[in-house]
Amino acid sequence: MRFASYSKINNQTLLTCSLLLAINSSFIHANENNDLFDLSLEQLINVEVSSASLTKEALSEAPVPVTVITANMIKQSGARNIKDLLLAYVPNMTHVEDQNEQNIAARGVFTSSQQKILFLIDGHRLNSRSYSMASPDYAISLDKIKQIEVLRGPSSSIYGNVALTATVNIILKSGRELSQSKLAITAGNQGHKQASLTFGKSEAHWDLLAWAQYFSAQGSNKNIAPKANYSPQPREDGFARIGAFEDNASYDIGAKLTYQNWHFFANTRSAHYIEPFSAGGISGEAYNYNTIRKHAGTGPGLGYKASHLNISHIDTLADWQWHQEMYFDENEIDSVVVTSPAIDQAASVGWQEYSSGLLTHLSKRIDKFDYLFGMQFDHMRVTDSHFAVTLRGSDYVSADQQVPLINTGSESIYSAFAQVKYSFSQHWLANIGARFDQKSRAGSDNINDLSPRLAIIYQGEDGYNFKASYATSFVDATYWNRFSTLNSFRGAQTLKPEKLSSLQFTPSIKLAEHQFYGAVNLFYNQLDDFIFRDNNAGVDEPNYSNAGELTTWGIELESRLSKRNMTWHATVGYQAVIDSERFATTGDEINNVPSLTANLITSWQVNDNADASLTVRFISEQQLPIHIISNGQEIIDPYPDEGVSFNEPDNTVDDVILIDTAINYKVFDNFSISLTAHNLLDADYQQGGTTLHPYPQAGRNVRATLSYLF
């Protein structure tokens, strides 16, 4: 097990740990009548969710296992972004590395960007259509969030495309729920700079929530010696930038306006993540960021901009509740990819898409039945793409004169869905739903698919709950996967859709008198035709292929206990492979994904003015075979007997314990200060993913935030 080495635990760290121990001791004897954490637990036990069935229902009635992250839990965790929250609170959701994007996996399923989990804000899709990407980074601010509802498992019966392994619906506060507007300024090591404003206003017939956030980080530089560089021509001045968001600042600007029965949502977001190692060519080579020429002010790494507009209206139609929605989205990818660090060669790639759609659904309760019927039309058009290259600081020259990076074109999806809930008795409930999607594909035959879901739920009077559910997901190959001409990411129009079937059993218990909630989920997953980036593909073969099958099982535990002035929130996730075909596995483990993860978040309330938290995260050992290849050819190691090995099929990365902490103190009625530390002990560890070798992870990150309420 790997902690920070003893020599790395300096006086500052020892002082911080001593302070935490002292705070812990004093908190246990603090005032027992504080209800902040009791309220948070009570909200969690009795919370209503709307993501699983598109209508409000008690958490115990949701047809699939749902993790709810409340605003109090966000504050307690000291999380920096959505990714931190999901890793801390959702079992079997893990970090995975990509060459130039922020990425996470749910139950071990991932690809070269975050494309397998559907992200929503108040039900509005954030994933792009042509690339299916939604990065869990700093382009989603946290202060505006009321709660996050995470549907674990397939969700295509309601949401269709992208909802393969999980759905994350971010529910916004209303202006009335915000209570006070907030201005916050954050600074920290690794060049972290952040400013955010959250504003709320409410009157009799209207309600307004508005927000704006800016973020940038220089990250940390890690020098990579030639012998430690996975490159056939290693640089003497090569280094990796870890956790850097620069060149184009990350921002999140938006507003939500409610006027009578009308709802308006507008949002624009942007981020640019600097690739730690080269992302093109062989990929994974150390390069010199300062010598790579920028393109229109953008350096190496993937950048994106996204704009969203949603107009919805809720009314009645013949005694049925009628939801009508119209939406528009614009997504733009703008990336600089280092293709050959030895000669400072890079490529600028990007494209733009526009999408729009209509959604309507009717719902009504009749006797013991709850009915939901809906239809959706979704249209996407890729309007432009660019591909330009540079060499040793020269100007970028267009390289797509004859073959564009990605073909322009459009695709549409026509969908119909239905759901019926039936109460057998006071304790038993059934939920049956299905969605039919017909996709008008560009360049190939149309796709038709049916995604069913069935759940049986028991609700006991003693707080005991049990649900058994079966669901399937249908996710088509993205436009990028099928049409990309980039050397390292050649697409194939013959790609088939991916399918996931999941059987889940979820017992839970709530003991309000003891302020305890616990849930266990046992799942069996069958994944077919998974889309995989094949590094063994030859120079004339597509890189993307349907990788075959993966069958897994796993167990997930969630518990929350509140006592006196303390709250404990624990999650444990375990997953194992039953069978696989052309999927990266070793024995019963998925490569690059930990089989076991566990989190314990302990929160203390000192008094009305101060609180603190300590998060302990365990990540088990991982199988991470190393095989440095390009276009199906093995790369020759220039230092075959020294430094890193280019071919190490039995390579593993050690398990690790990570510790995060947060302290919040109210200085005056409207002014407070927060101190947060991630990876407090500065543990030195690695992580793999779609990369050819493990990537080093960020060290200690300490931040201070000043907040003013008005």
> What pLDDT is attached to residue 601?
96
Q: What is the residue whose two structure tokens read 């430690």? A: 228
Q: Is the pLDDT of residue 402 over 80?
A: no
By C-alpha distance, which of 396, 399, 274, 280 is closest to 341?
Answer: 280
Report the distance separating Cα 416 and Cα 400, nearest Å. Answer: 39
Q: Rounded CA gap, 492 and 481, in Å?
A: 7
What is the mean pLDDT of the segment spanning 64-84?
93
User: In this structure, what DSSP letter does residue 689 have?
Assistant: B
Instruction: Report which DSSP code applies to 513.
Output: G
Q: Does residue 20 have a pLDDT over 80?
A: no
Report the mean per-residue pLDDT for the chain.
Answer: 90
pLDDT tier at 534, thresholds 50, 70, 90: confident
CATH number for 6-709 (one of 3.90.470.20, 2.40.170.20, 3.40.50.10860, 1.10.1370.30): it is 2.40.170.20
Whole-number pLDDT of residue 703: 98
Closest by CA to 622, choosing from 587, 664, 663, 662, is: 587
604: helix, strand or coil: strand
Kindly report the CA angle at 175 between 171 and 178, in degrees rounded to 5? 75
Q: Residue 536: pLDDT band by 50, 70, 90 thresholds?
A: confident
pLDDT, mean of residues 20-29:
37
Dihedral (Cα; 112, 687, 86, 64), 10-degree rounding: 70
514: which 2 tokens? 């003891």
Q: Is the pLDDT of residue 4 over 60?
A: no
User: Which pLDDT does position 540 carry in this prediction?
Assistant: 78
Provide the pLDDT for residue 268. 98
Could you tell me the CA-to-CA distances from 334 to 190, 244, 388, 425 in Å, in that order? 24, 16, 11, 55
Listed by start position, the domains of the chain span 6-709
Alpha-carbon dihedral angle through residues 358, 364, 369, 370, given to the nearest 10 degrees:
40
Question: Tokens 């300096």, residue?
Answer: 10
Least confident of 41-50, 199-208, 318-327: 41-50
Distance CA 100, CA 699 (A): 19
Tokens of 124: 């509005």
SS3 156: helix
Pick from 335, 340, 337: which is nearest to 351 by CA?
335
Report yes or no: 676 and 702 within 8 Å, Cβ to Cβ: yes
| CB contact burial 291-318 (16+ within 10 A = b; e otherwise) | ebbebeebbbbbbbbbbbbbebeeeeee
Per-residue pLDDT, averaged over 552-575, amounts to 95
Encoded tokens for 669: 């009625």
At 290 the three-state DSSP class reads helix
Which one, of 575, 619, 569, lies nearest residue 597 by Cα?
Answer: 619
- pLDDT category of residue 213 using cuts at 50, 70 and 90: very high
State the pLDDT at residue 41: 54
Q: What pLDDT was estimated at residue 44? A: 57
Can you spell out the DSSP letters for 456-488?
EEEE-TTSEEEEEEEEEEEEPPPHHHHH---GG
Q: Within 13 Å, how many C-alpha atoms sit on residue 485's CB side?
A: 15
End-to-end CA distance of the chain: 47
Residue 236: strand, helix, or coil = coil
Mean pLDDT along residues 597-626: 95
At 54 the three-state DSSP class reads: coil
pLDDT digits (tens, 9 = 90+) for 403-441: 789 989 999 999 999 999 999 999 999 999 999 999 999
CA–CA distance, 383 with 309 (Å, rounded to integer): 19
Count how many Cα atoms sit within 13 Å of the Cα of residue 244 in the half-sphere of its side chain. 23
Check residue 132 and report its DSSP letter: -
- In terms of phi and psi (left: phi > 0; alpha: psi -120 to 50; beta: otherwise), the region of 393 is left
Gap between the Cα atoms of 304 and 367, Å rounded: 49
pLDDT(461) > 90: no
Q: CB of 336 within 8 A of CB of 299?
A: yes
> What is the sign of the dihedral through the CA atoms of 403, 488, 231 and 694?
positive
Beta bridge partner(s), residue 217: 245
Averaged pLDDT, 589-616: 95
Look at residue 19 and tell me whether its pLDDT is greater than 60: no
**Is the C-alpha dihedral spanning 189, 194, 195, 198 positive or negative?**
negative
**Residue for token pair 């003893």:** 6
Query: What are the beta bridge partners of residue 557?
Result: 520, 572
* Residue 47: pLDDT band with limits 50, 70, 90: confident
Alpha-carbon distance 146 to 177, whole Å?
A: 8
Tokens of 462: 């003693």
Q: β-pairing, 117-121 with 166-172? A: parallel
Q: Which helix (H) or strand (E) holds 187?
A: strand 182-188
Cα 668 to chain center, whole Å?
A: 35
Kind of pairing, strands 182-188 and 701-709? antiparallel
pLDDT band at 400 (very low <50, low <70, confident <90, very high): confident
Confidence grade of residue 42 (pLDDT, cut at 50, 70, 90): low
**Short-list 257, 49, 75, 239, CA closest to 155:** 49
DSSP state of 638: S
Report pLDDT digits (tens) over 265-312.
999 999 999 999 999 988 999 999 999 999 988 999 999 999 999 999
Q: SS3 for 495? A: coil
pLDDT classification of 13: cutoffs 50, 70, 90: very low
Rounded Cα distance, 387 and 574, in Å? 42
Q: What percent of the chain has pLDDT over 90?
A: 78
| Cβ-contact 232, 636 below 8 angstroms | yes
With b for 16 or more beta-carbon neighbours within 10 A and e for fewer, the 363-390 pattern comes to bbeeeeebebebebebbbbbeebbbbbb
Q: Which residue has the tokens 């953008």?
A: 298
- pLDDT, position 21: 38
Please say whether the beta carbons of 30 and 607 come within 8 A.
yes
Helix (H, G, I), strand (E, B) or coil at 342: helix
Quickly state the pLDDT bin for 541 (edges 50, 70, 90).
confident
Model confidence pLDDT, tens digit, residues 667-695: 998 999 999 999 999 999 999 999 999 99
Amino acid 443: pLDDT: 87
- Structure confidence at residue 227 (pLDDT): 96
Degrees to nearest 5, angle at CA 618 with 612 and 623: 155
Please give the pLDDT value at position 14: 41
Taking the model in full, what pTM does it have?
A: 0.93
